[in-house]
Amino acid sequence: MPVTLEADLVVALSSRTLFDLEHSHAVFERDGVEAYSLYQIEREAEPLNPGVAFPLVRKLLRLNEGRERPLVEVILLSRNSADTGLRIFNSVEYHGLAITRAAFTNGAPPWRYVEPFGADLFLSADARDVAAALQAGYAAAALVPSAVAESPSDEIRIAFDGDAVLFSDEAERVFRERGLDAFQAAERSAAHEPLSGGPFKNFLDALQRIQAAFPIDDSPIRTGLVTARGAPAHERVIRTLREWGIRIDEALFLGGMDKTPFLRAFGADMFFDDQRGHVERAASAVATGHVPHGVANEAADEGNSERLEGAGQNP
């Protein structure tokens, strides 16, 4: 009988997010695929240094220690060939990561294997792969160069923006098309109408499945909603989560304030946001993924986007 994955959470990620492959990638960009292949083969006994996603992955895999059935499965989806991927697997073994499954696609889009592996989340450094995965309906983020320092705590802390990440971008469209006053009025009148789910709703569901296996006061995972919304736009968010039956451990309604110091105080191991401005600022403090989804990523005028963001409660 074929083996099936029984984990509550399956995370798929590229080798460039798990390990620091920026110098190797620069060789590829400058000298081409043959030079890159030779570079990796010559160094396949040299372990790679950790990348942006490494601390989070190590924490997630620790959840499996001492368990017959794993809570988490981590899969590598890489544009490397099997030949150049040997260095990746050697590095996995060197760092003691319990990762046994991978797809090496030799330059072809690896996100196609998100569905066969049943992944709840796809992390990549390639924005094209991320955009394609999101369009196909999967939770995906492009990890950006970030200030990453592994927390001394084993607790996993993951933070999310709200609109266009956990929720649809329906409210944000009102804000961008009609302004802050119209947005607040619309959210007040729709306070009892749940928002539609965004691309990361199912990933949050998967996290909650793991949380449910532990006492509420002793969970190894802590989630946070960090949104530029403020009152009166908070009520619809709270009621939406209640309708979904999903628990958020901490909810920060910042009313347009910079999210960065709050993410640092929360101690996020990873933060997901759809707006480039928030992502770029947050990356100075925590590992951050851009979710290129929704109206904020359709806008042609980035300068106008930043102007609206500075106006106040940009959701």
Distance CA 303, CA 41 (A): 44
86 pLDDT higher than 60: yes
Q: CB within 8 A of 49, min separation 6: which ones?
A: 19, 20
Distance CA 309, CA 193 (A): 25
For every residue of the chain, DSSP letters joined together read -------SEEEEE-HHHHB--HHHHHHHHHH-HHHHHHHHHHTTTSPPPB-TTHHHHHHHHHTTTT-SS-SEEEEEEESS-HHHHHHHHHHHHHTT----EEEE-TTS-GGGGHHHHT-SEEEES-HHHHHHHHHTT--EEEE--------SS--EEEEE-TBTTTB-SHHHHHHHHH-HHHHHHHHHHTTTSPPPB-TTHHHHHHHHHHHTTS-GGG-SEEEEEEES--TTTHHHHHHHHHHHT---SEEEE-TT--SHHHHHHHT-SEEEES-HHHHHHHTTTS-EEE---SGGGT-S-HHHHHHHHTTS---
Nearest to 171 by CA among 158, 160, 161, 184: 184
308 pLDDT higher than 50: no
- pLDDT-derived band at 290 (thresholds 50, 70, 90) equals very high
**Scanning the structure block, which residue is given the tokens 């620069």?**
26
pTM of this structure: 0.90
The arithmetic mean of pLDDT across residues 244-257, rounded, is 94
The structural domains of the chain, ordered by start, are 9-142 (3.40.50.1000), 156-309 (3.40.50.1000)
Q: What is the pLDDT of residue 97?
A: 97
The arithmetic mean of pLDDT across residues 25-46, rounded, is 86
Q: Regarding beta strands 140-143 and 288-290, do their DSSP bridges make them parallel or antiparallel, or are they unpaired? A: antiparallel
The arithmetic mean of pLDDT across residues 78-93, rounded, is 92
The arithmetic mean of pLDDT across residues 152-164, rounded, is 92
Name the CA radius of gyration of the chain, rounded: 20
Answer for the pair 198, 293: CB distance below 8 angstroms, yes or no.
Answer: yes
Q: What is the pLDDT of residue 25?
A: 79
Token pair, residue 237, equals 């968010």
pLDDT tens across 233-242, in order?
899 999 999 9
The arithmetic mean of pLDDT across residues 304-311, rounded, is 38
Active site residue 126: no
Nearest to 141 by CA among 149, 152, 153, 129: 129
Distance CA 74, CA 127 (A): 20
Answer for the pair 14, 124: CB distance below 8 angstroms, yes or no.
Answer: yes
201 pLDDT higher than 70: yes
140 pLDDT higher than 50: yes
Choice among 161, 163, 273, 274 that is catalytic = 161
Nearest to 52 by CA among 27, 21, 98: 21
- pLDDT-derived band at 164 (thresholds 50, 70, 90) equals very high
- pLDDT-derived band at 3 (thresholds 50, 70, 90) equals low
43 pLDDT higher than 80: yes
154 pLDDT higher than 80: yes
74 pLDDT higher than 70: yes
Answer for the pair 19, 57: CB distance below 8 angstroms, yes or no.
Answer: no
300 pLDDT higher than 70: no
Phi and psi angles of residue 59, each rounded to the nearest 5 degrees, phi first: -65, -45
Distance CA 90, CA 239 (A): 47
Q: What is the pLDDT of residue 182?
A: 83
Distance CA 49, CA 78 (A): 17
Mean pLDDT across the chain, nearest whole number? 89
- pLDDT-derived band at 171 (thresholds 50, 70, 90) equals confident
Q: What is the pLDDT of residue 104?
A: 95
Distance CA 63, CA 2 (A): 25
Instruction: Report the percentage of the chain scoring pLDDT > 90.
Output: 67
Q: What is the pLDDT of residue 299?
A: 62
